[in-house]
Amino acid sequence: MHDTQLIIGLGNPGKQYEHTRHNIGFLVVDAFTQALKLGAFSYEQKFSADVLQSGTMRIAKPLTFMNESGVAVQKLVSYFHIDPARILIVHDELDLPFGTLRLQFGRGPAGHNGVASIHTHLRTTDFWRLRIGIKPQDVDDMNPERFVVSTFTPNEAKQLLDVILQAVAAIKMIQSDGTEKTIQFLHSKTPA
């Protein structure tokens, strides 16, 4: 997939969620647009999302809150007539150790409510996902709902920029080299 038409960063709107684990998708697409000097996002009410367009590629941050992300994604897909196979969803992943990146296609949501919402609204899992690990190394017992909206630990915060830059590099690699090379590259790396 060299011709991604829609990149979606998942997160929650509002200052209180800005630097939380669940918002790593927002952080990555912000960094991606800044790295490529694509300009600023603008709020598009008809999509319930902040949207930026560059040529045939659109980058969006749904502002529907995580659990309703599919509402915005479905509106974008319908309006722009985008094949779900040409969508990349960037999101946090509690099942992966912090800093681990994985690119996958056609997989179920595995408990991620934002991805589940997209699956429900698009009626398919045939889209790409860049999963960014947020699982802590030193916590065994936690409440997942509270954990994902918590801020990063001081140690994680030190590594966060590197994780974001690796995710940006992965998106660039998808665009230039395709998904297979990106998968091979990411799956051969150790976490940040």
pLDDT digits (tens, 9 = 90+) for 149-170: 999 999 999 999 999 999 999 9
Give residue-wise pLDDT tens across range 17-29: 999 999 999 999 9
Q: Is 113 annotated as a binding residue?
A: yes
SS3 content of the chain, % helix, strand, coil (to 5): 45, 25, 30
Q: Which position has the higher pLDDT, 180 or 142?
A: 180
- Paired sense of beta strands 87-97 and 6-9, if any: parallel
CB atoms within 10 A of CB 154: 7
Put the strands of the sheet holding 128-135 in their side by side order.
Answer: 42-44, 49-54, 57-62, 6-9, 87-97, 128-135, 101-105
**C-alpha torsion sign, points 69, 15, 140, 28:** positive
In a 3-state reduction of DSSP, which class is residue 109? coil
Q: In percent, how much of the chain has pLDDT > 90?
A: 86
Question: Taking the complete model, does pTM exceed 0.85, yes or no?
Answer: yes
Q: Is residue 77 part of a domain?
A: yes
Q: What is the pLDDT of residues 67-86, one digit of tens each?
A: 999 999 999 999 999 999 99
Mean pLDDT of the chain: 94
Token readout for 41 is 């996002």
The string of pLDDT tens digits covering residues 123-140 is: 999 999 999 999 987 766
Q: Residue 181: count other Cβ atoms within 10 Å of its Cβ.
A: 12
How far, in Å, CA of 114 to CA of 86, rounded? 18
- Selecting among 2, 22, 91, 112, the annotated active-site residue is 22
Position 35 in a domain: yes
CA 22 to CA 43: how far, in whole Å? 20
Other CB atoms within 10 A of residue 53 CB:
15
Q: How confident is the model at residue 189 (pLDDT cuts 50, 70, 90)?
A: confident
**Domain assignment of residue 1, yes or no:** no
Separation in Å, CA 177 to CA 2, 101, 174, 184, 190: 7, 17, 6, 11, 21
Cα–Cα distance, 114 to 103 (Å, whole number): 17
The tens digit of pLDDT for each residue in 45-69 reads: 999 999 999 988 999 999 999 999 9
Domain count, the chain: 1
pLDDT of residue 35: 97
Question: What domain range includes position 139?
Answer: 6-188
Residue 98 among known ligand-binding residues? no
22 catalytic, yes or no?
yes
What's the CATH number where 138 sits? 3.40.50.1470
65 is known to lie in a ligand binding site: yes
**Band of pLDDT at residue 145, cut at 50, 70 and 90:** confident
17 is in an annotated binding site: yes
Q: What is the pLDDT of residue 192?
A: 55
